[in-house]
Amino acid sequence: MTRASRRSKKQRKFLKRKLNTRAKWRCSKESQAIISPKVAKYWIQRYSLFSRYDEGIKMDEEGWFSVTPEEIAVRHAQRSVSGGVVVDCFAGMGGNSIQFAALGYHVVAIDVDPLKIEMASNNAKIYGVDKYIDFIVGDFLHVAPSLKGNVAFLSPPWGGPSYKRTENFTLDLLKPVDGYTLFQVAQTITPNIIMFLPRNVDVCQVEELSWLSSPPLNVEIEENYVQGYVKGITAYFGNTAYWGVTEETTSHNIHEI
């Protein structure tokens, strides 16, 4: 690493810390009743989470740190197979469901927490897409086997913001059960699976998920950025993996988006 790139990384860290401190101060001044200091750093990013935030978007604490940033959710929707039904297996605040619906999919949005489903439904109304989404309060592990869809989208809990403390995030750290089980349950819906995962996830393990199917599924892996910061990794399986694993030089395709 050159001295210049080291310096710019340091500067970026400093700027980030400064912004977070400022966010905490503004939160305590402006929105004491709604925003806790724990979510302050996410609140400052609110328009990248929901561009229509000011129109009445509702969030809870887990929602603040888990919702998929809007431009990444748009990307997920654009990268799905065309048309049909998307099952959003861990719907949360509806960040992904809304963008799938906006692109013309019919969405089945599942979340185990009834309050999250209420918030997701409110948020979908703001985007004018609630009529294209069926909301289900339920446990994905129980509901999935009775569903069929063209795409299964999984953004499960990563164990909270502390996910980044580990250098290599292994799939057994996902919740409510390990990533292998989640993937196998999702396969009862469809082999076309999209998973949004931590940026420090063990990419080899992610690739191995494709071997849970016979013949192995195509897999494609990309990093997702917002304003130059990597926010997560998306793995596309089955027909959602456009480029597949056809290159003889690589066992997986990782590219920056």
Judged by CB, which is closer to ligand SAH: 90, or 253?
Answer: 90
Q: Which member of 50, 105, 163, 183 binds ligand MGP (CB under 6 A)?
A: 163
Q: Which of residues 57-76 bind ligand SAH (CB under 6 A)?
A: 62, 66-68
Residue span 176-215 as binding mask against ligand SAH, x where in contact by CB under 6 A, dash where not:
x---------------------------------------
Q: Which of residues 16-45 bind ligand MGP (CB under 6 A)?
A: 16
Residue span 150-169 as binding mask against ligand SAH, x where in contact by CB under 6 A, dash where not:
-----xxx------------
# chain residues binding ligand SAH, by CB under 6 A: 23
The tally of CA atoms less than 13 A away on the side-chain side of residue 78 is 7
Q: Which of residues 41-80 bind ligand MGP (CB under 6 A)?
A: 65-69
- Using H for helix, E for strand and C for coil, what is the string for the chain? CCHHHHHHHHHHHHHHHHHHHHHHHHHHHHCCCCCCHHHHHHHCCHHHHCCCHHHCCCCCHHHHHHCCCHHHHHHHHHCCCCCCEEEECCCCCCHHHHHHHHCCCEEEEEECCHHHHHHHHHHHHHCCCHHHEEEEECCHHHHHHHCCCCEEEECCCCCCHHHHHCCCECHHHCCCCCHHHHHHHHCCCCCCEEEEECCCECHHHHHHHHHHCCCCCCEEEEEEEECCEEEEEEEEEHHHCCCCCCCCCCCCCEEEC
- Contact stretch for ligand SAH (CB under 6 A) within 39-47, 149-157, 201-209, 234-242: 149-157
Q: Which member of 110, 124, 126, 219 binds ligand SAH (CB under 6 A)?
A: 110
| Contact partner, 93, from ligand MGP, ligand SAH, none, Cβ < 5-8 Å per class | ligand SAH
- Contact stretch for ligand MGP (CB under 6 A) within 103-111, 112-120, 143-151, 161-169: 161-169
| Contact partner, 160, from ligand MGP, ligand SAH, none, Cβ < 5-8 Å per class | ligand MGP
